[in-house]
Amino acid sequence: MPADFLAEPYKIKMVEPIRMTSREEREGLIKEAGYNMFFLRAEDVYIDLLTDSGTSAMSQEQWAAMMLGDEAYAGSRSFYRLKDAVESITGYPYVLPAHQGRAAEKIVMDILVREGMVIPGNMHFDTTRAHMQLRGGKPLDLIVPEGLDPTSSHPFKGNIDLEKLENALNIHGKEKVPFILITITCNNNGGQPASLGNIKSAGEISRRYGVPLFFDIARFAENCFFIHMREEGYGQKTVREIAREIFACGDGCMMSSKKDGLVNMGGFMAFNDRPLHEQACQLSIINEGFPTYGGMAGRDMDALARGLEDVLELSYLQFRIGQVAYLARLLREAGVPIVEPSGGHAVYIDGRRFLPHIPQEQFPAQVISVALYIEGGIRTLELGSIAFAEKDEKTGAYSYPQLDLLRLAIPRRVYTNSHMEYVASHVIDLYKRREDLKGLKMVYQPSVARHFTCRMEFL
């Protein structure tokens, strides 16, 4: 037994059956779905690694907390319990719930972003980027170069390039840069963490230029755990202490609670600044709801308040990050090309290195995704040539991103290590007979966010 192998730090009290279909059934189902994972019914999936968002299992304490939910329209006890939990972790006193992360993003962008502004960050998440662009702003990804190299084993591939950040601030100035946004962990390059050293320097730059620093904290606890494990000087600090140090470097945060909030729906914003909070409350009233519920039921705010405590427990995080690393190790040892090091919430397979005989316009990562479903009933998500291709509006031609990745996102507290072994065995089997796999072609695609609704066929 390897030294870093941990068993689940919980036992199972309630079970949700999952159904194994036959290979023939799955061949028919995925064909009918246009080879698009979003069109499958969840009940036809055996192991669902589409996303870690909103798919967590709650603890007995969270379920118990739900019974205490106070559904008062204004000023509910549940809101104050959530506010206290958020404030005690972040130190930010002005807390506003939202129904999910992108709703918080919309409110913040509507207040702060104007035509022609530039928003630097390590790497903005897709919906965050879209909200900036809808306001006429320009998202600027300033991730360190190691962050874009799938073979680099740099421990903090989510760091922001500090020199590029200063350059951007020098070029555009305070007037054109409404805030800096650091996403922890950085989802778009594989759930990679930013170091506290890097965040502190970014905070110092933000103060020097008078531009606020915000955090997208969908997976903040996982980021804190990586700092605890990897960064010198933080091995003795608790994850909660590390979180406080991160938040002290900035001025506010937005959260999709569907990840490290350990709940199935929800989000929030938290700020140091009262006027910003007041403006956000005004927008919340017309879009999300009165500021003491912002689109969330009282019982859900209680579950979230407790989830934010659960997620900072060391044993939870050790197992969580260990489980993702365990799946990565099984794949790595069999020679499967993955993004190194594995991140906090997912293992990413490198489609181009897995299937070098399939060109990018035939979607190698999606080919692996379809084969994993047919062979094992496993659902995964392509984040590559389908999701991130850019269309030239004049010629109609597509240009493809450098990376063609397949994400195996691990829901929190849902699957056991034997599920991970099952997944690994199917990926490894497929890798052994990779030369038999054939490419796909697109037969229908919408003009925006094509990966959600496009349809494909085998060549």
Amino acid identity for residue 345 in this structure: H
Which residue out of 125, 220, 326, 373 is catalytically annotated?
A: 125
284 scored as a contact of ligand F0G (CB under 6 A): no
Among 259, 277, 345, 426, the active-site one is 259
Question: Of 172 and 388, which CB lies nearer to ligand F0G in the complex structure?
Answer: 388
* Among positions 30, 49, 142, 218, the unique one binding ligand F0G when judged by CB under 6 A: 218
Q: Does 62 bind ligand F0G (CB under 6 A)?
A: no
Question: In the annotation, is 424 catalytic?
Answer: no
Residue 154 is among the residues annotated as catalytic for this protein = no
Phi, psi dihedrals of residue 118, rounded to the nearest 5°: -125, 135
Q: Which residue is nearest to ligand F0G (CB)?
A: 101
Q: Which of 76, 78, 100, 206 binds ligand F0G (CB under 6 A)?
A: 100
- The verdict on whether 38 is a catalytic residue reads no
Burial of 177 (0-12, 13-18, 19+ CB in 10 A): buried
Contact yes or no for 110/299 (Cβ under 8 A): no
DSSP 3-state of 132: helix
Q: Which of residues 100 and 369 has its CB atom nearest to ligand F0G in the complex?
A: 100
Among residues 78, 187, 189, 206, which is the contact residue for ligand F0G, using CB under 6 A?
187
Q: Distance between CA 116 and CA 432 in Å, rounded?
A: 50
Q: Smallest Cα–Cα separation from 245: which of 184, 187, 174?
A: 184
Give the CA count within 13 Å in the CB-facing half-sphere of 11: 0
Residue from the set 26, 40, 46, 101 that interacts with ligand F0G by CB under 6 A:
101
Quote the tokens at residue 197.
């050293």
From candidates 62, 183, 192, 323, binder to ligand F0G by CB under 6 A: 183
* 131 part of the active site: no
Decide if residue 223 touches ligand F0G (CB under 6 A): no
- Give whole-number Cα distances, 110 to 128, 173, 438, in Å: 12, 20, 45
Torsion of CA 130, 134, 138, 143, to 10 degrees: -10
Instruction: State yes or no: residue 380 binds ligand F0G (CB under 6 A).
Output: no
Residues 220 and 156: beta-carbon distance below 8 Å: no
Residues 232-271 that bind ligand F0G (CB under 6 A): 256, 258, 267
388 is catalytic: no
Active-site positions read 73, 125-126, 216, 218, 259, 451
Binding residues for ligand F0G, rule: CB under 6 A, are 51, 53, 100-102, 125, 127-128, 183, 187, 216, 218, 256, 258, 267
